[in-house]
Structure 1
Amino acid sequence: MRKSKGLSFYRRRKKISTAILHEILSYVLGIAIAAFLAFVIVYFVGIRTSVIGVSMEPALYNGQEILINRFIYKLSNPKAGDVVVFLPNGNQNTHYYVKRVVAVPGETVQIMEGILYVNGAPVEDDTYDLIADAGIAEHEIKLGNDEYFVLGDNCNSSEDSRSGNIGAVARDDIVGKAWFKLSEGSNSMGPIK
């Protein structure tokens, strides 16, 4: 007996192959891992903040947003030339300060006749003009363990380690390294030098 080839209201169910199911699960797992890594990177490495004031011009401008790497100083210590972000005297009720490290623990700092001296030698750097106000660095300062001396690149318009209410910055007060500047008007986006 032959089956009729007429209308049939029964449809064959398509089976999902294990290869397709495996591919779907691998995509879902890949997306979950990417989301987790993005969260970890943003939480541990990147904090976004804005530069307040003109003290870091021309490298960073007032209102320019930067990313802070909180993780790097868990592996190493700040070096001279690093742009660090810190809370002066650990004060949680103030904004982040962004300044450049000019001297590290154990070094001596002094500003004489507008020139910055580290360990008795003048710092030959085009970043710093003649410094009009030596502040507390008028007399030689020996940095203790875990103390850093910081200056703004535009040091004649900067409140930094020369100021008595900031002084040398303690290692524990440093939040992290300013490592990436975001585009702000005509300013370029990229790593901070």
Structure 2
Amino acid sequence: MAKRKKNEWFDWLKALLIALGLALIVRTFFFAPIVVDGPSMQPTLHNGDQMIVNKFVYNISEPDRFDIVVFHATDKKDFIKRVIGLPGEHVAVKDEVLYIDGEPVDEPFLEEQKENLEPQEVLTDDFRLEDLPGNDTTIPDGYVLVLGDNRDNSTDSRILGLISEDQIVGKTSLVYWPFDRFRLLKE
């Protein structure tokens, strides 16, 4: 009887350790939670939104335009922004229009904000890639240009410069909390 009880405890302990090990592996290499901190991605994301970050996706693919990514801005702080420019591209904004290699590109996630602008109000100040830290004429391989959706209140590539793909933690597209904001994000 005592030996059976000891085996039962050992089995439970073994199952618990395996479960903890699997959870640690999944959180470290595949998925992790993140909490949005600040207004820089409004109205798409709100302060306090809780999301899942897919850490694995960029091991098998490259970032795409308009992906929402989490990246290491400093040793202690991660930021969440939207990928706007990709390697080899020239990026500019003039009169509220995004230009990639001189061609206008729609930003559907900004339409509502642009419609609500007052006549003299500006959502995105004009800039060219050359004006950003680094003075690049095209985005080098291994880098992306990121912007927040709340362009007037965002610390992004216009201040930080281009973001190395090595700094990117992963892609996020699922808001799971608060429950009334639960959704998959689209472009």
With the length of structure 1 as denominator, give the TM-score of the two structures.
0.71
Give the aligned partner of residue 178 of structure 2: 184
SS of equivalent to 2:109? coil
Q: Which amino acid aligns with 1:82?
A: D
How far apart, CA to CA, are the structure 2 residues paired with 1:92 and 1:116? 31
Give the aligned partner of residue 161 of structure 2: 167
Q: Do 1:110 and 1:141's aligned partners in 2 also have CA atoms closer than 8 Å?
A: no
- Listed one character per residue, the Cα deviations across residues 166-187 of structure 1 (whole Å, up to 9, x for unaligned) are 111111111111132122264x
Residue in structure 2 matching 1:75, options 60, 76, 79: 60
Shift of 1:35: 5.9
Superposed counterparts of 1:23-172, under 5 Å: 37-88=22-73, 91-93=74-76, 95-128=77-110, 129=114, 131-135=123-127, 137=129, 139=131, 141-163=137-159, 166-172=160-166
Shift of 1:110: 0.9
Shift of 1:36: 5.0
Q: Which has the larger radius of gyration?
A: 1
Q: Which has the higher helix share?
A: 2
What value does the CA root-mean-square deviation take over the aligned residues? Answer: 3.0
- Listed one character per residue, the Cα deviations across residues 23-59 of structure 1 (whole Å, up to 9, x for unaligned) are xx9xx99988766544432231122221111111122
Q: Do 2:44 and 2:109's aligned partners in 1 also have CA atoms closer than 8 Å?
A: no
Q: How many equivalent pairs are there?
A: 166
Question: Structure 1: which 5+ runs fail to align?
Answer: 1-24
How far apart, CA to CA, are the structure 1 residues paired with 2:182 and 2:18? 28
Shift of 1:125: 2.1
With the length of structure 2 as denominator, give the TM-score of the two structures.
0.74
- Listed one character per residue, the Cα deviations across residues 101-158 of structure 1 (whole Å, up to 9, x for unaligned) are 1111111101122321111111112323354323564758410011101111222221
How far apart, CA to CA, are the structure 2 residues paired with 1:33 and 1:74? 25
- Listed one character per residue, the Cα deviations across residues 82-103 of structure 1 (whole Å, up to 9, x for unaligned) are 1000122xx213x211011111
Q: Which amino acid aligns with 1:92?
A: D
Give the aligned partner of residue 13 of structure 1: none
Q: Identity rate of aligned residues, in percent?
A: 32
How far apart, CA to CA, are the structure 1 residues paired with 2:184 and 2:26? 17
SS of equivalent to 1:40? helix
